[in-house]
């Protein structure tokens, strides 16, 4: 029984109806997002045939995430968080309906497509901070960690199953059906959040939300362990994010099969899920700083290997290694950030971490697409992966506190 609870504690789903609704809504939204990611990649590639076009998806997604994530953090501390989440999902549903409509109408404008992608990303980012605050209010204290673990599990499963299913659907029935499936998933998320109870922030006031992000950035820059950890993550994602290059690699080496495109994304999730099964072991390693640095370097090297892979099996293997390294890096970074941040600043520093975590990969996709357009997908992947590993190593060299960091209280 102890082993069962350790690896998959389902008490939050069984004991809290509001959390169950939140989890269902989050899982549906995540699944729909993965379907949309493949559909948008495929459509932009069909319209442009250019890695700059697919890289622009990252820009259209990353900038709204950066802007509306900060706005959403302020709203989450000022109004009923349930209202923010509901409004966020409603906006996502409208954008998803727009994506379906433009595909059905055989839209040929990349600008229209990217505008809808940006709108959906902005709506999702607006509700993300409020959504993150809900488990601790909906669950008993001893079940909060289990609830967060279940949410992470649903994300990994969505990453695994969503892209593969999207590739099959698009190959068989076309883009409109893929977008329709995404819209249906977001509609399920909307129905789920309608049943949430009111969750008003405690002790709010104008002074508290006037400049919610300022204290977070200040304390990050003042603590070497924090800026080193977040800079490590940003270096890895900004220099070695491969998703925008998947269509180009798929067409150049694997005949442009949509099923293979979906498997690329799923392979990353497979690695993440396998690493997640051993996350308890990772969290007990006391050398959290060096572990994060090593995992980020492995991420870059694995993606450089993907850039050189000549077979589907080798390509998927490199992506699975990258996904496993990413999970280890995320687990260790999250623990370090929470331990190293004073309690009074944890919300704002977590907002900084979130912005870096969502904007870095999207901007990294844009960077990768630009470089690939001037050179090739292989050059972009190999130079990006090696540069990421080198920069991560440099951060470790100039940041002794990060190299020496030991997680308090771990075994």
pLDDT in tens, 78-105: 778 889 899 999 999 999 999 999 999 9
Q: Which two tokens stand for residue 315?
A: 């390509």
pLDDT in tens, 395-408: 999 999 998 888 66
Q: How far, in Å, are 91, 100, 190 from residue 88 at the CA level?
A: 5, 19, 9
pTM, entire model = 0.69
Task: Rank 147-151, 270-274, 357-361 by mean pLDDT and report only the highest.
Answer: 270-274
Q: Which two tokens stand for residue 356?
A: 């870096």
**pLDDT at residue 305, as a whole number:** 94
pLDDT in tens, 321-338: 999 898 788 777 876 776
Q: Which of these, 121, 54, 27, lies nearest to 366 by C-alpha position?
A: 54
DSSP three-state, residue 411:
coil
Spatial distance between the Cα atoms of 134 and 26, rounded to a whole number of angstroms: 12
Task: Give residue for tokens 């498997």.
Answer: 263
pLDDT in tens, 354-375: 778 877 887 888 888 889 888 8
Spatial distance between the Cα atoms of 24 and 4, rounded to a whole number of angstroms: 22
Q: Which of these, 57, 271, 245, lies nearest to 160 by C-alpha position?
A: 271
Q: Tell me the average pLDDT across 303-308.
A: 92
Task: Give residue for tokens 């727009």.
Answer: 98
Cα 152 versus chain centre, distance: 11
Residues 157, 101: contact at Cβ < 8 Å?
A: no
Domains of the chain: 13-212 (1.20.1250.20), 214-411 (1.20.1250.20)
Residue 205, judged by CB atoms within 10 A of its CB (0-12, 13-18, 19+), counts as exposed
**pLDDT at residue 94, as a whole number:** 96
**pLDDT at residue 204, as a whole number:** 45
pLDDT in tens, 48-60: 888 888 888 878 8
Residue 112 clears pLDDT 90, i.e. is over it: yes
């Amino acid at each position: 029984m102890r082993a069962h609870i350790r690896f998959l504690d389902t008490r939050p789903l069984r004991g809290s109806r509001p959390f169950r609704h939140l989890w269902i809504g989050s899982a549906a939204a995540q699944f729909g997002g993965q379907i949309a990611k493949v559909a948008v990649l495929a459509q932009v590639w069909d319209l442009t045939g250019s890695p700059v076009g697919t890289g622009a998806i990252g820009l259209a997604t990353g900038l709204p995430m950066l802007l509306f994530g900060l706005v959403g953090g302020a709203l989450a501390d000022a109004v009923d968080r349930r209202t923010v989440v509901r409004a966020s999902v409603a906006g996502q549903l409208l954008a998803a309906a727009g994506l379906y409509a433009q595909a059905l109408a055989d839209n040929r404008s990349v600008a229209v497509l990217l505008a809808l992608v940006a709108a959906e990303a902005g709506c999702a980012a607006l509700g993300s901070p409020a959504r993150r605050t809900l488990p601790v209010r909906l669950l008993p204290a001893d079940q909060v960690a289990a609830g967060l673990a279940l949410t992470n599990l649903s994300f990994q499963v969505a990453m695994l199953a969503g892209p593969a299913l999207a590739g099959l659907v698009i190959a068989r029935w076309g883009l409109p059906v893929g977008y329709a499936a995404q819209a249906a998933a977001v509609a399920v998320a909307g129905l789920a959040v309608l049943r949430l109870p009111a969750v008003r922030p405690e002790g709010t006031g104008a002074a508290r939300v006037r400049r919610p992000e300022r204290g977070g950035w200040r304390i990050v820059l003042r603590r070497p362990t924090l800026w080193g950890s977040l800079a490590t993550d940003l270096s890895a994602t900004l220099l070695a994010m491969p998703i925008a290059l998947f269509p180009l690699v798929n067409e150049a080496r694997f005949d442009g099969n949509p099923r293979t495109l979906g498997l690329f994304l799923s392979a990353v999730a497979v690695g993440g899920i396998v690493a997640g099964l051993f996350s308890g072991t990772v969290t007990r390693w006391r050398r959290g700083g060096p572990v994060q640095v090593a995992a980020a370097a492995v991420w870059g090297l694995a993606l450089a290997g993907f850039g050189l892979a000549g077979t589907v099996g080798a390509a998927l293997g490199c992506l699975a290694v990258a996904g496993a390294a990413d999970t280890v890096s995320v687990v260790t970074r999250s623990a370090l950030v929470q331990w190293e941040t004073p309690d009074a600043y944890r919300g704002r520093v977590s907002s900084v971490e979130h912005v870096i975590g969502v904007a870095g990969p999207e901007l990294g996709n844009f960077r990768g697409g630009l470089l690939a357009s001037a050179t090739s997908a292989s050059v972009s992947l190999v130079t990006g992966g090696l540069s990421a590993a080198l920069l991560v190593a440099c951060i470790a060299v100039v940041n002794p506190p990060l190299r020496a960091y030991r997680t308090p209280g771990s075994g």
